[in-house]
Amino acid sequence: MAADFAFELEAVRGNARAGLLTTPHGVVRTPGFMPVATQAAVKLLTPEELASTGTRLLVANTYHLHLRPGAEVIAAAGGLHRFMSWPYALLTDSGGFQVHSLAARREVDDDGVTFRSHLDGAPLRLTPEIATRLQEELGADLIMAFDYCTSYPTGREEAVRAVELTTAWARRCREAHRHPSQRLLGIVQGAVFRDLRERSAAELLPLGFFGYAIGGLSVGEDASQTAEYAAFTTSLLPAEKIRYLMGVGRPEDLTAAIEAGVDLFDCVVPTREGRHGTALTAAGRLNVRQAALKTEGGPLEEGCSCYTCRHFSRAYLRHLVLAGEHLAGRLLSLHNLHFLQEFVASLRREIVEENN
Amino acid sequence: MAADFAFELEAVRGNARAGLLTTPHGVVRTPGFMPVATQAAVKLLTPEELASTGTRLLVANTYHLHLRPGAEVIAAAGGLHRFMSWPYALLTDSGGFQVHSLAARREVDDDGVTFRSHLDGAPLRLTPEIATRLQEELGADLIMAFDYCTSYPTGREEAVRAVELTTAWARRCREAHRHPSQRLLGIVQGAVFRDLRERSAAELLPLGFFGYAIGGLSVGEDASQTAEYAAFTTSLLPAEKIRYLMGVGRPEDLTAAIEAGVDLFDCVVPTREGRHGTALTAAGRLNVRQAALKTEGGPLEEGCSCYTCRHFSRAYLRHLVLAGEHLAGRLLSLHNLHFLQEFVASLRREIVEENN
């Protein structure tokens, strides 16, 4: 199955790269944005609609899916692709992000992390071996090493410990990972300490991962810091390996990250903002509730080819938002993902055309 | 434009009828089920999906749409068809149902009804003339006379008053209605008093409506009473006019109503039950939350051609329901409407095949 995976650079402009990620479930153009399907569903949208936005890679979450419905249920269904009826590529996060997001509900030791379920308080133990086995059961194409994701701000002492555990756990994930039709990515930690980022990358590179993620960012720091440390971290990574900046996906953040040489991104923002009544447009965010839209007969974005813009006016969408119709969140989520995928595709075209 | 409207019977079996309703927005086969788009949207579903279920006629609501976004906003958008991007036929209820459903928020006088808005308490006055004008602004193909819809139980005194006002208001609606590309339906009231139903029908028939609705049922009485009084009322109506039983649409109620000679129905049940995690199947209601579905790899209904059944297992849908993903409500609503439309279509085929 080894030939089913590849990452090739098609064009480079400065640090920015246009690449092709080949997986057993199709080719993904990079830079590429991954919508978030935490619970095996991108909120309110079908696989058919996601594909219509140009999406070819989704990210799901090991912690959430193992709590509900259980990795064994998904394995019995033939894996995550079949379970959620998604024919293209998938990536699962390892549960390491929940070390940050569920900080009040977990205890970290050298061997791993014990969570108290956010659903019912039941204990859930994740170690490098368990997280890897669960991800093998889920069956995504790309899987993530189990890491210690820090929050912001983080003191140097905790950041050091996060780097040390992340390295030790990455080695154990590398050893535990057996599945031939998956590829494992390591995650660089180090919070906002440059020397710790250097140390983390230096320790992970010899382990020979398929690609590298930049973790521990987009956890509360300013966007300028996200961009700065993302760029610094990409400078530490080998050019030929795919790079994934975790948790970033606002349009304004994507440009900087792509310029810094990032290949993959994920973020809940386009769908969350859609559900909250905000549309992404070339002119910026559009508050769909505003009175100015009351009689606007045009689409959210002139020339947009998404289903929402081809069928519905701003006035109608405003009505749906104000009336509390969840159809609004659905139609705005679809538009926002379409907008973001088109935006990333346009940045990619620029890289290819200005290849140097 | 008169030639744009027609109602023709294609087949009759006992009291049951198969007909064709022609409107400026297409032909509707009867018996025909109308999904409910109270606020100019069938909850969670797009026009494209509704059309895929075989739906060719929707019902929207004058009271709700005039409160929000306002009939004048919809008129400015080119009417309800264009506003909600629905290319097929539409019917609007007049607001008479809200005399029942918002009984605590309205005052009835001989001239009309004053509501206190369920949104902000602001007064909303509906009279036969206002309800007709608002429906002309909304621009549905079929519009309803403004009636006094009673609740259950209703004393004889109130039922008499409802019949008297409904007749007086129907006459005023008939006189007020001018729009050549709409047809007006009268509504028979009379609660569960046979002589009052007879009186109501006898008073409305000379006014010469395009069709007749059976109102004041499905307002709290037993299903057996709904069926009994629906059948009694259809026996009072001319065979050549279309008949609409308001608010009925559970599969078990449709069979009896169709046998009684009803042509049109509307009900929120298929979409509401879908949002609450219940699927309609040939074997009855399926509680999609139940543990038995945890690893069921088959569709909700074997052989169902809806998008949901073509792509997703019972196990996945159960997971979405339990995980609180609104995608579940969307996919179950789509299946339920598809199921109900197929069910009605199969009853129609039987009438055509067994034509006597």
Q: What is the pLDDT of residue A2?
A: 47
Contact A311 B46 (CB under 8 A): yes
Q: What is the ipTM of this complex?
A: 0.97
CB pairs below 8 Å between A and B: how many?
111
B343 falls within a domain:
yes
Q: What is the pLDDT of residue A3?
A: 59
B150 falls within a domain:
yes
C-alpha A168/C-alpha A330 separation (Å) is 42
Predicted TM-score (pTM) of this structure:
0.97
Rounded to a whole number of angstroms, the distance from the CA of B188 to the nearest CA of chain A is 31
Contact A41 B323 (CB under 8 A): yes
Q: What is the full DSSP assignment across A3-61? A: GG-EEEEEEEETTEEEEEEEETTEEEEESEEE-B-TTSS-TT--HHHHHHTT--EEEEE
Q: Are residues B192 and B341 in the same domain?
A: no
Q: What is the pLDDT of residue A249?
A: 87
Positions of chain A with pLDDT under 70: 1-3, 356
Q: Are residues B243 and B287 in the same domain?
A: no
| Kind of pairing between the strands at B264-266 and A113-116 | unpaired
Q: What is the pLDDT of residue A113?
A: 97
Positions of chain B with pLDDT under 50: 1-2
B contacts of A316 (beta carbons < 8 Å) = 40, 77, 83-85
Please say which residue of B233, B264, B295 terminates a domain: B264
Q: Are residues A262 and A285 in the same domain?
A: no
| DSSP state at residue B188 | E
Residue B140 belongs to domain with CATH number: 3.20.20.105
Instruction: Quote the domain boundaries for residue B105.
Output: 31-264
B contacts of A48 (beta carbons < 8 Å) = 307, 311
A251 falls within a domain:
yes
Q: Are residues B289 and B222 in the same domain?
A: no
C-alpha A177/C-alpha B57 separation (Å) is 55
Q: What is the mean pLDDT of chain B?
A: 97
**What phi-psi label fits residue A220: left (phi over 0), alpha (psi between -120 and 50 degrees) or beta?**
left
A272 falls within a domain:
no
**What phi-psi label fits residue B54: left (phi over 0), alpha (psi between -120 and 50 degrees) or beta?**
left
pLDDT digits (tens, 9 = 90+) for B50-90: 999 999 999 999 999 999 999 999 999 999 999 999 999 99
Which residue of A327, A330, A331, A335 to mutate against B (max B Cβ within 10 Å)? A327
Is B266 a residue of the active site?
Answer: yes
Q: Are residues B236 and B325 in the same domain?
A: no
B18 falls within a domain:
no
C-alpha A96/C-alpha A62 separation (Å) is 9
Rounded to a whole number of angstroms, the distance from the CA of A88 to the nearest CA of chain B is 14
C-alpha B306/C-alpha A294 separation (Å) is 35
Put simply, whether B269 touches A (Cβ < 8 Å) is no
Q: Are residues A331 and A233 in the same domain?
A: no
Give the DSSP H or E segment for B285: strand B284-287
Number of domains in chain A: 2
Q: Would you state the structure tokens that stand for residue B135, as one six-digit string?
A: 């429906």
Contact A69 B319 (CB under 8 A): yes
Q: Are residues B274 and B172 in the same domain?
A: no
B123 falls within a domain:
yes
B276 falls within a domain:
yes
Q: Are residues B255 and B272 in the same domain?
A: no
Beta strands in B157-283 (DSSP E): 183-188, 211-214, 242-245, 264-266, 278-281
Q: Are residues A188 and A228 in the same domain?
A: yes
Q: What is the pLDDT of residue B3?
A: 59
Please say which residue of B264, B295, B320 terminates a domain: B264
Which residue of A36, A42, A43, A46 to mutate against B (max B Cβ within 10 Å)? A46
Q: Are residues B200 and B275 in the same domain?
A: no
Q: What is the full DSSP assignment across B224-251? A: HHHHHHHHHHHTTS-TTSEEEETT---H
Put simply, whether A75 touches B (Cβ < 8 Å) is no
Q: Are residues A252 and A339 in the same domain?
A: no
Residue for token pair 């989704």? A58
Put simply, whether A69 touches B (Cβ < 8 Å) is yes
Q: What is the full DSSP assignment across A234-274? A: HTTS-TTSEEEETT---HHHHHHHHHTT--EEE-SHHHHHH
B contacts of A66 (beta carbons < 8 Å) = none
Put simply, whether A268 touches B (Cβ < 8 Å) is no
Catalytic residue among B147, B253, B263, B266: B266
pLDDT digits (tens, 9 = 90+) for B332-344: 999 999 999 999 9
Q: Are residues A259 and A285 in the same domain?
A: no
Contact A319 B294 (CB under 8 A): no
Q: Would you state the structure tokens that stand for residue B57, as one six-digit string?
A: 């006629």
Q: How many other CB atoms sit within 10 Å of the CB of residue A354?
A: 12
Please say which residue of A225, A246, A267 terminates a domain: A267
Partner residue opposite B323 with nearest CB, options A48, A68, A329: A68
Q: What is the pLDDT of residue B1?
A: 43
Put simply, whether B232 touches A (Cβ < 8 Å) is no
Backbone angles phi, psi at B230, to 5 degrees: -65, -45
A281 falls within a domain:
yes
